Structure formats: structure tokens, C-alpha cells
Amino acid sequence: MVRTDDQDDSIAAAMADLVGSFVRPSGVEEILCSVTARAVELLQEIDFADVLLIDEQQHRSMAATAGFITELDDIQLQFQEGPCLAAAVDDATVICTDLTSESRWPRFANAATEAGIKSMMSFQLYTYPTRSLGGRGGRGALNLFSRNSYDFSSDDRTIGAMLAAHAAVALISADRQTQFESALASRDLIGQAKGMIMERFKVDANQAFDLLAKLSQDGNTPLRVVAQQIVDSL
């Protein structure tokens, strides 16, 4: 399919709006919803979209444009097969042009076609160490679903990849913000524990910190945990 000037203008406007979402105060869920909504808007053959996140403890289907898409994610995790899962954990991009004849994931393909999905594109977001999503080594994919069997064009794939990049940046930013806030909270807690030790035992700040560090080392316990124990007990 050849793009028209109007389509190019729509794509440019959509990308500008997504970039603007990083400047405006927005939560990660709001940004991901914008990404999936834009995917359905910009790609003529795409009817639904979502983001699947996977880590050691859980999986999350986010920003789904229809409720049954979340159910299809659950089916992939149940069967341990499907394009979303493959993209999230293995391949950068997974394309399926006709699920009615798909042999790579037969059980998922059957469930998807029964739900009215005939073709899909999935784009790996990134593999990332994460605290905010409940574990470490989490992975994710932007998943695009079509009611029709369709041979996606290079333009379709390029737009999908650009949208996936926006989703990835949103998730990375959210994770870094969570880590930053956690670091600030730990610093404040350690400072509070130091102050209590200084007042209780009449020592200076350096001596108080040395005591905290020794308790942490001797007990093989994180400094933040030791500080919390002191705040709770003194």
C-alpha cells in the first residue's frame, strides 16, 4: 500500500503528539494507551493493540484497546506459545500474516482465530532489569492485532517499530523514576537513623554512619533495612 501525503501528515502529527506526552506530565499507563490507540488509528489493517509485560513473578497486559485482547495474552502465557510471547522473550519482531494456517503456535492460533483475530505483528520493547514491575529481567512487547489475514507492508512494520520505541521509552522512564524515588527514600531513612544514633549515643555523623555500616556488614543486611530497624526500635 502506497502512503498518501495525508497519511504522512497523520503519522507525523501522531508521532509529535506522542513525543509531547513525554513533556507533559503523564503516567506510563496514559502514554501506553496513547501508543496503542495511535497504532489502531495509523495502521489501516490493525484493529486492536496492547502491551504485554513479563517478569519473573507476573505478566501484565497494559493499554489494551479491547478486553478480549487481555484474554489472548493470558492464553499465550498458559500455553507458553504465541507471537506476543515470542517477541517479548526472543525475537525483535514477529509477524504472522495468517493465523488460520499458522504452525508455529497451533493452540494459540486456534484460540485467536476463534476470537476473530487473523493476523498479528509483535515488536519487542526491550529486555530490562526492573524493580517497579515486580522483579528482575522483565521483558515486553507491543502487540498489534487484525481481524483480517494480511501481508503487512514495510511501512506497516516501520510504523509499528516506531510506536514500540515510544512505548519502550515510557517504560524505561517509569522504571528509572521508581528507582530514583526509592533511592531518595532510602537516603532519607538512613539520615533519620543517623540522627537518632547521634542523639542517643552522643557521636558525630561520621561515627553514626560507621556504626550503621558495621551493623549492615556484620548482619549481611542491606543498609536501608538496618536503618529501618533502628528507626523502629529507638
Q: 154 and 191: one domain? A: no
Q: 187 and 165: one domain? A: no
Number of structural domains in the chain: 2
Q: Among the ranges 1-5, 41-45, 167-171, which has the highest mean pLDDT value?
A: 41-45
Q: 152 and 214: one domain? A: no
pLDDT at residue number 9: 55
Long-range contacts of 169-172 (CB under 8 A, 24+ apart): 169/22, 170/21, 170/22, 170/28, 170/31, 170/32, 170/35, 171/28, 171/32, 171/53, 171/125, 171/126, 171/128, 171/140, 172/126, 172/128
Q: What is the pTM of this model?
A: 0.67
Helix (H, G, I), strand (E, B) or coil at 196: helix
Alpha-carbon separation of residue 76 from 27, 86, 100, 231 (angstroms): 27, 10, 16, 46
pLDDT at residue number 177: 53
Q: In the predicted model, is pLDDT for residue 102 greater than 80? A: yes
- Among candidate residues 159, 178, 197, the one where a domain is terminated: 178
Structural domain including 196 reads 180-233
